[in-house]
Structure 1
Amino acid sequence: MMFPVRIEIIPSEGIVEQVRAKVSAATPLSVTCLPHHGIERTMRTAVELSDAGYQVIPHLAARSIRSRAELTDIIRGCDAAGIREVFVIGGDRKQPAGTYDSALPVLEDIAQYTGGMMRVGVAGYPEGHPLVSPLDLLDGLLAKQHLASHVVTQMCFSAGKIQDYAALLRREGVHLPLWAGVAGSVPRTKLVALATQIGVGSSLKFLSRKGPLARKLLSGDRYSPDTLVAGLKTTPGAVAGIHLYSFNSLDAVPNDAAASSPSALQTALIRGAARDN
């Protein structure tokens, strides 16, 4: 059993050229929205990649959207670029830039503007959230699920925790497909260089809280999610696919594998089969 894979990228300088050189156009791409980048950079990158033939899912951080008018413009821009799916989160910005302070009202407005035609992913937290109680997280998903098409988990390093989370959602009445958020095969040097660009709080601090497996990623060894993904296969139906956090480290995607088949691409991504440039 091979899971479908989508790759999350960060809209840093030069990422469009890097993706076009190293990732098959058959691979869906998710484009993050970081507080200091803003939604403009996310959308610009998403539109460029969509124009290049990729299936792209831009992240829309509610607290970074300045107004309902801006959201309308974003949705119009998605429509014009052929983008049919977005991922909506509350966002890490401390003070909302405008009207929205959480994901739910953004979901409601997107559904209204598009007549329910836009697919929308929402976030799940197998290991909890530092600022939100588990009950509130669950209530939030229950409130969102009639407006959403799937859940993508925050990065997790344990197949068991993801499987337990999938079972919890089903028991509590959340029946959306679940995509498992997994760190890709990333060398330490790539991660540290990226952390310098995006801010330590966005990557290294997050990873360092995740226990010994994550700390291996920071100590010199190349982290591989191979064991985690193999573990997820032991519970068929628990997850719908793999959402791969690439940290923009795309060297583990050989052009021949990326171009040949989804199965070859997944093997290359997960095992880190290519050279490190």
Structure 2
Amino acid sequence: MALNAIDLTVDRSPIDLLSGYSLEITAKDGEALRSAAPRIPPGTSISVTALPDEDVADRLAAIRLVRELGFEPIPHISATAVPSAEALDDYLAAVTGQAGVTRCFVIAGDLATPRGPYCDSSALIASGALERHGIRAVGVGGHPDGHPHMTPEECWSVLAAKCAAISERGMTPFVVTQFAFDGVHIAEWLGDLRRRGITAEVRLGIPGPAGIKTLLRFAARCGVGASASVLARYGISLGKLLGSAGPDKLVDLLRSRLDASHQPVGLHFYPFGGMEKTIAWITDYKDRT
């Protein structure tokens, strides 16, 4: 075949973003997860957050429950909250031994002064503790709306360096983004990520259906862009704060803009309005599309 006859076009057909979605819970969400479990596909990845006011025993119980219910637990580890290398070893031994954990998600955390030897997620990854305890995949954060302490270019270089460090240690990197409302911006960010040669799987953070005031409260807490124009595209009017909103328009837009060139990619749901509401929305949306 002549060179000019070779088909070099990219497959632009729509991709199934909702196949193999993932979810996020806190240590307090165990009963809600148990109630919703029959409607969640077996093997679904479920992240368990690491909040500063939680008891570690409660977090471990939630991680064990995820496994007992037939799902894949992904514990969050907040690097600056880890008091010592010994404490990290103990925690990793517990989650791997008690819940068969093979994947985790590492963040820096919100502490200005680290409690122990890890000043950020990169330092924890470099410690060697994760692979020593049999962790096979490590998630790191992506920030379509930017990061309060880094320039956009710094965000890209740090993300690329983390993914490379994880791969060099024999583990598989994946990226989970902070939730966002602006589907246009999310799609552009993901396209930029692929053009920069970062090939890791990406989970795009999606807010589950919730009260509008609840969504805005979490957006303010997490530094998520929520201008009037962005919220309007999402389906929220700042003049009408009563009622609730779901991610229909956001997911519609992402499905229309993402294609094979953005793969591997899926959705990661933050159930701010409750697990049952989020699973009901996912089920209904899949039935309608």
TM-score range, shorter chain: 0.7 to 0.9
Q: Are residue 156 (structure 1) and residue 174 (structure 2) matched? A: no
Q: 1:20 aligns with which of 28, 31, 34?
A: 34
Residue equivalent to 1:229: 251
Task: State the alpha-carbon separation in 2 of the partners of residues 144 and 155 from structure 1.
Answer: 20
Q: 1:134 to 1:150 in 2, by over 3 A?
A: same
What does residue range 20-99 of structure 1 map to in structure 2 within 5 Å? 20-24=34-38, 26=42, 27-37=44-54, 41-80=58-97, 81-99=99-117
Whole-Å Cα distance in 1 between the matches of residues 241 and 163 of structure 2? Answer: 39
Residue 27 of structure 2: SS of its match in structure 1?
coil
Q: For residue 250 of structure 2, what is the amino acid of its counterpart? A: L
Q: What secondary structure, in the 3-state scheme, does the structure 2 residue paired with 1:160 have? A: helix
Q: Quick one: distance in 1 between partners of 2:82 and 2:273?
A: 24
Match of 1:275 in 2: none
Name the CA distance, whole Å, in 1 between partners of 2:113 and 2:58: 19
8 Å CA contact 2:180, 2:224 repeated in 1: no
Query: Equivalent residue of 2:181, what SS?
Result: coil
Measured at CA, do residues 187 and 248 of structure 1 come closer, stay the same or move farther in structure 2, by a change above 3 Å?
closer
Work out the CA distance in 2 between the residues paired with 1:216 and 1:63: 38
Q: What CA distance in whole angstroms lies between the structure 2 residues aligned with 1:95 and 1:233?
A: 41
Aligned counterparts, 1:115-134, within 5 A = 117-134=135-152
For 2:36 and 2:220, how far apart are their aligned partners in 1? 25
Residues 34 and 216 (structure 1), Cα distance of their counterparts in 2 relative to 1, 3 Å cut: farther
TM-score, normalised relative to structure 2: 0.76
- Do 1:184 and 1:269's aligned partners in 2 also have CA atoms closer than 8 Å? no
Alignment partners' CA distance in 1, 2:242 and 2:89: 45
Identity value in percent: 26
Partner of 1:132, secondary structure, is coil
Of stretches 47-56 and 160-169 in structure 1, the one that deviates more from structure 2 is 47-56
Quickly say closer, same or farther: Cα 1:83–1:111, change in 2 above 3 A.
closer
In structure 1, how many angstroms separate the alpha carbons of the residues matched to 2:56 and 2:196?
33
Task: Give distance in 1, aligned partners of 2:274 and 2:23.
Answer: 10
- Find the counterpart in structure 2 of residue 261 from structure 1: none
2:180 equivalent to 1:183: no
AA paired with 2:178?
Q
Q: Which residue of 1 aligns with 2:227?
A: 211
Who is 2:4 aligned against?
none
> What CA deviation, in whole Å up to 9, does each residue of 1:34-65 have, x standing for no partner?
22326554333212322333211111111111
Report the 3-state secondary structure (helix = DSSP H, G, I; strand = E; otherwise coil) of the residue aligned with 1:219. coil
* Structure 1 unmatched runs, 5+: 258-264, 272-277
Q: Secondary structure at the match of 1:157?
A: coil
Report 1:255-274 matches (<5 A): 266-268=282-284
Q: How many residues align?
A: 252
| Residues 132 and 37 of structure 1: CA distance in aligned 2, closer, same or farther (over 3 Å) | farther
CA deviation profile, 1:188-213 (whole Å, cap 9, x unmatched): 47x38xx9xxxx6x665337752232
Deviation of 1:74 after TM superposition, in Å, equals: 1.8
Contact 1:226/1:270, CA 8 A, preserved across alignment: no
